[in-house]
Amino acid sequence: MSDDAPALPAGVERRAFDGRERLCTRGEPVYGEPTDDGWRAWDAGRSKLGAMLSLGMDTGLAGGETVLYLGAANGTTVSHVADFAGPTYAVEFSPRPVRDLLDACEPRPRLFPLLKDARRPETYAHVVERDCDVLVQDVATRGQADVAVRNRQFLADDGRLLLAVKARSEDVAADPDEVFAAVLDDLREAYEVLETRSLDRFHEDHLGVVATPK
């Protein structure tokens, strides 16, 4: 990592695990990750946000933010987020992973699981606070830009969208670069794109995007 890489959020550190420097947060383990003295390694190979931070993307995260997380699955990444963020709302529409997500929530009083469809924000608008600082999105669904646009309503005007675009979820056959260009075009309806980076080193055919509301 170069010296001019953006600072990590408070509560996220680089520490040596088995001789290798890795990102980590402080909290109860969730997915069998290595731990050391209360710190849990954050596996960038299993987490797009972990990959974005490992690659030195400027996420704007400082720690303590209010977060809406779309596509929480069984809580791998959102549990790390809740270790360093403030109130964290975790939306996932598939009941099976939500069972594991509930276990991750148990020792994390600021992590709120929502069994909801991220394409229908009106179904959780009464629960999630307005003016969230950060919207993290990692939903494996067609129409990823549309999901981000629909959920813009929860984000403060100076907030950040941290989006992982999965090319194959839009079109399994298309050239990923063409898919990314089309998704970014649609995203610009509601957001200004600040940075994009291929996540290929950790996640094949994924693009990391940092954006802010227009």
Nearer to ligand SAM, 4 or 118 (CB): 118
Q: How far apart are the first and last CA of the chain?
A: 31
Nearer to ligand SAM, 103 or 192 (CB): 103
Cα separation, 27 vs 24, whole angstroms: 9
Is 97 in a helix, a strand, or coil? helix
Is 117 annotated as a binding-site member?
A: yes
Least Å distance between CB 79 and ligand SAM?
8
| Chain positions contacting ligand SAM, by CB under 6 A | 47, 71, 73, 76-77, 91-94, 97, 117-119, 138-141
Query: Using the 8-state DSSP alphabet, how is residue 126 labeled?
Result: T
Least Å distance between CB 103 and ligand SAM?
13
Is 77 annotated as a binding-site member?
A: yes
Is 124 in a helix, a strand, or coil? coil
Cβ(193)–Cβ(211) below 8 Å? yes
Least Å distance between CB 80 and ligand SAM?
9
Cβ(159)–Cβ(134) below 8 Å? yes
Least Å distance between CB 99 and ligand SAM?
12
Is 93 annotated as a binding-site member?
A: yes
Cβ(207)–Cβ(167) below 8 Å? yes
The annotation places the binding site at 76-77, 92-93, 117-118, 138-141
The annotation places the binding site for S-adenosyl-L-methionine at 76-77, 92-93, 117-118, 138-141
